[in-house]
Amino acid sequence: MRRVFAVATLLLPLAALAVGERPAPPSPVGAGGLLQVVLALGFVLALIAGLAWLVRRMGAVPQGAPGAMRVLGGISIGQRERIVLVQVGETQLVVGVAPGEIRTLHVLDKPIVMPPSAAGGGEFAQRLAAALRRGGKSS
């Protein structure tokens, strides 16, 4: 019985070919289908980029309370280590920053008074802010 089944299984495709029924060949992806996929992918990528720009432009990402914490200055003491002067409210802290670790080095008893040009970023920051207000037009 098994032999009859095995022979029939082998001869069935040949019988179908003799009758004239041929299995349909797999259709290749046409140029129109490929163009449609590429355009859809481009649209999705443009949509993601546009939404990211809009979120950043609108300021929807919370930045915390304005002026509550500021970095007043810092110095690099190694490839990935820094010492940073941070002001939190009225308190100034000297903080060591390394990969995976932030450590308070000192809490200042008497806050350091920063000159307005150093705290604001200096002349470059003022010129950049003025250029942004003008809309990028050079003077």
Q: For residue range 45-77, what is the model confidence (pLDDT) as tens digits?
A: 999 999 988 887 776 555 555 667 888 888 999
Can you give the residue ranges of every domain in the chain?
30-61, 69-134
What is this structure's pTM?
0.40
d(CA 35, CA 33): 5
| H-helix or E-strand spanning residue 85 | strand 82-88
Judge contact between 86 and 71, C-beta under 8 A: yes
Give the per-residue pLDDT at 42: 95
Give the per-residue pLDDT at 70: 85
Q: Which residues of the chain have pLDDT under 70?
A: 1-29, 59-67, 116-122, 136-139
Judge contact between 64 and 58, C-beta under 8 A: no
